[in-house]
Amino acid sequence: MIRVQYFARYREALGIEGEQLNWDSALANLDGLRQHLLARGGVWEVLAEQNLMCARNQELCSLEEALADGDEVAFFPTVTGG
Amino acid sequence: MAVRVRETAFDPGVELNALHAANVGVGAVVGFVGYVRDFNDGQDVAGMFLEHYPGMTEKALEKIALEARERWPLLNVDILHRVGRLEPGEPIVFVGTASAHRQAAFDACNFIMDYLKTRAPFWKKEDTAEGPRWVEGRCSDKAAAERWE
């Protein structure tokens, strides 16, 4: 199982805070997961943004980061704190 | 070293004095306070909401504080960030650094803010006359963080 979370503008565009997906080794890495979500079409196009940021198990990472069963993944727009 | 994320208001003066009190004898304490502006990108801002990623936020701030301690000879680091509803003029973030000499404290404080702006999962949503809008990340923030690499 992979737990996926969406924040800020993405959460609003997608209409959900997060979801659980069945683990599939074909996903390989975060970009594989993103492509899987993009294939849903429509609002999911928001995940095609160039500035998209992502985290695996609450650590910032690149889209090339490998995925493992049980991971917590998050996709979000550029951060703007402070 | 302290990292705090909370909804309630804080007094920057109290935080600064507490940082000194915990390190009496220290040569330098530098404090940065970020405030909610009443304008942004040419529009009046009536207030904002700070969203964050609970769990990851604390870890990200701790990592940034630890990296600062590895780079400079610091005696202490304090990061306090508010989340939730904020009004114009309210303090939103406090970063305090303590060291034997001022340069390390200044540089570390600057570094922490640059990394916080680009690596900590906070998102600002401003209330404007035309409705709420998400603040987009700035290229200048990214460039500021990259100069430390």
Domain ranges of chain B: 2-147
Cβ contact (<8 Å) for B134 and A82?
no
A82 occurs within a structural domain: no
A33 occurs within a structural domain: yes
A9 occurs within a structural domain: yes
Average pLDDT of the residues in B25-53? 92
Which residues touch A58 (CB under 8 Å, ≥6 apart)?
A: A72, A74, B53, B55, B56, B59, B60
Cβ contact (<8 Å) for B123 and A77?
yes
ipTM value of the model?
Answer: 0.95
- Residues of A within 8 A of B86 (CB-CB) are none
CATH 3.90.1170.40 fits B2-147, yes or no: yes
**pLDDT value at position B24?**
83
Looking at the complex, report in whole angstroms how far the Cα of residue A82 sits from the nearest Cα belonging to chain B. Answer: 6
A81 occurs within a structural domain: no
Cβ contact (<8 Å) for B123 and A7?
yes
Name the pLDDT band for A68 (thresholds 50, 70, 90).
very high
Is the CB of residue A47 less than 8 Å from the CB of residue A53? no
In angstroms, what is the C-alpha Rg of chain B?
16
Here the tokens at position B43 are 């529009």
Neighbours of A79 (CB within 10 A): 26
Per-residue pLDDT tens digits for B63-122: 999 999 999 999 999 999 999 999 999 999 999 999 999 999 999 999 999 999 999 999
- Residues of B within 8 A of A82 (CB-CB) are 34, 81, 92-93, 113, 116-117, 120, 122
pLDDT at B1 over 80: no
A26 occurs within a structural domain: yes
pLDDT at B147 over 80: yes
DSSP B91-142: EEEEEEEEESSHHHHHHHHHHHHHHHHHHS-EEEEEEETTEEEEPPPPHHHH
pLDDT at A30 over 80: yes
A24 occurs within a structural domain: yes
Task: Give the CATH number of the domain where residue A38 resides.
Answer: 3.10.20.30
Cβ contact (<8 Å) for B136 and A7?
no
Four-point Cα dihedral B144, B64, A6, A32, nearest 10: 80
Q: Which domain holds residue A11?
A: 2-76
pLDDT at B22 over 80: yes
Q: How many CA atoms does the CB half-sphere of B90 hold within 13 Å? A: 19
Per-residue pLDDT tens digits for B45-75: 999 999 999 999 999 999 999 999 999 999 9
Cβ contact (<8 Å) for B123 and A5?
no
Angle between helices B102-119 and B139-146 (to 10 degrees): 130
- Residues of A within 8 A of B81 (CB-CB) are 81-82
A14 occurs within a structural domain: yes
Average pLDDT of the residues in B27-31? 95
**pLDDT value at position B43?**
83
Average pLDDT of the residues in B7-30? 93
Average pLDDT of the residues in A34-55? 97
- Report how many domains make up chain A: 1
Nearest to B122 among A9, A55, A81 (CB): A81
- Residues of A within 8 A of B117 (CB-CB) are 79-82
Phi, psi angles (nearest 5°) of residue B147: -70, -15
Cβ contact (<8 Å) for B123 and A8?
yes
**Distance between CA atoms of residues A72 and A21, nearest Å:** 11
